[in-house]
Amino acid sequence: MVDTTPLTRAVDHFADLLRAAPQSRLQRSAAAEALGLARELALRAQRLEDPAAEPREMPDAGMFAAADQITVAGRDLALVLSNEEELAEAVTLVVEAQKRAGV
């Protein structure tokens, strides 16, 4: 079993920053970046859970839901990760998305 604490910490940190960000920052790029990350994390989780199934895209629930979307998608992925390489890739995705979001 893989200790996924680094992923959940990174996701929680990014989500906290999004929740504290002003609306103007969310509108400029942060919410879109977070949604893109949530979709990628969800896609990875779905592929690990059932590689044969057609993946479903996470809907755009609006800029104020972006923090919750990355939290849910990140925790879903954490539940199905099976090795350290997958974990490291996921953490890198979160960290890089946070940088691009500018929060």
For 42-78, write each residue's pLDDT tens digit.
999 999 999 999 999 999 999 999 999 999 999 999 9
Q: What is the pTM of this model?
A: 0.94
User: Residue 28 is part of which domain span?
Assistant: 5-101
The percentage of the chain sitting over the pLDDT mark of 70, rounded to a whole number, equals 100
Q: What does the pLDDT read at residue 1?
A: 80
DSSP the chain: ----HHHHHHHHHHHHHHHHS-HHHIIIIIHHHHHHHHHHHHHHHHHHH-TTSPP-PPP---GGGHHHHHHHHHHHHHHH--SHHHHHHHHHHHHHHHHHHT-
Number of domains present in the structure of the chain:
1
